[in-house]
Structure 1
Amino acid sequence: MTTMTNETSQRTRVGWPRIVGTAAAAAVAATALWLLWTAAGGVELEVKSGAGSQQIGIESVIVSSLLIALAGGGLLRWWQGRSERGTRRWTMLAVGVAVVSLITPTSALTVAAGLGLASLHVVVAVVVIAGLRRR
């Protein structure tokens, strides 16, 4: 005898507490790394800005990490609610955005600043992608 069931596949979505926690973790990791480069390493994280330069301060690091992580988490949550492959698609997009973001540290004034800024981008990407993908 064959039994047929009418199952609706319920999509699981990442919760806001995890999104906020991941955003906070990304900001903390980026802040710690910024402190290592600037305070411990003595590197000035500066980029070309028009005719002059702009120093990347701790405020910029914290705010940008939080905003990127929250936006990424919101997009993941939205995509998971609309597609069975939302997490996979989001991951591919997130990795692509992380790779493209590595272009911006090329405007650093020194090699050390460029490496510092690139490491900040990588750390935030790893924390956000790993933090939001875990089950």
Structure 2
Amino acid sequence: MTTVTNETAQRTRVGWARIGGVAATAAVAATAVWLLWTQAGGVELEVKSGAGSQQIGVGSVIVSSLIIALAGGALLRWWEGRSERGTRRWTMLAVGIAVVSLITPTSALTLAAGLGLASLHVVVAVVVIAGLRRR
């Protein structure tokens, strides 16, 4: 008698707890960078907005870093469940998005504000990509 086994490779996916933890870490790290630039450094993080300007406050920093990290984590989780190379593809996409996001600080009103905003983008990208990839 012959026994046939149908073994399907179980794909591991990043857990929601890790996604939430990475999102919280990204928000805390971004807040720390924002505080360094604005409170310790005295830099006004302002960007051109239409005919005027818009100041980037800590609330915007926290909310945007949480949204980016949660969306990135959800996409990674979805992709890992559907492809053996999901993590690799997600990483390439995440790095690409991080690089493209560095265009937005060019609308800063001063060089210092641009550097501050760019550092916020880099910190969030590093925390999210490294935090979600690590197993």
TM-score of the alignment, normalized to the shorter chain, above 0.5: yes
Q: Which amino acid aligns with 1:11?
A: R
Deviation, structure 1 residue 6: 4.2
Aligned to 2:34, what secondary structure does the other structure show? Answer: helix
Matched, 1:69 2:62: no
Deviation, structure 1 residue 8: 1.4
- What pairs with 1:47-62 in structure 2 (closer than 5 Å)? 47-62=47-62
Gaps of 5+ in 1: none
Q: Which amino acid aligns with 2:7?
A: E
- Scaled by the length of structure 1, the TM-score of the pair is 0.96
Deviation, structure 1 residue 39: 0.1
Q: Deviations over 1:63-89 (max 9, x none)?
A: 000000000000000000000000000
**Equivalents in 1 of 2:6, 2:58: separation in Å?**
54
**Equivalents in 1 of 2:95, 2:7: separation in Å?**
33
Gaps of 5+ in 2: none
- What pairs with 1:92-131 in structure 2 (closer than 5 Å)? 92-131=92-131
**Equivalents in 1 of 2:114, 2:41: separation in Å?**
14
Aligned to 1:10, what secondary structure does the other structure show? Answer: coil
Following superposition, which runs of at least 4 residues in structure 1 exceed 4 angstroms of deviation? none
**Equivalents in 1 of 2:15, 2:6: separation in Å?**
27
> Corresponding residue for 1:7?
7
Identity %: 89
Deviation, structure 1 residue 7: 2.8
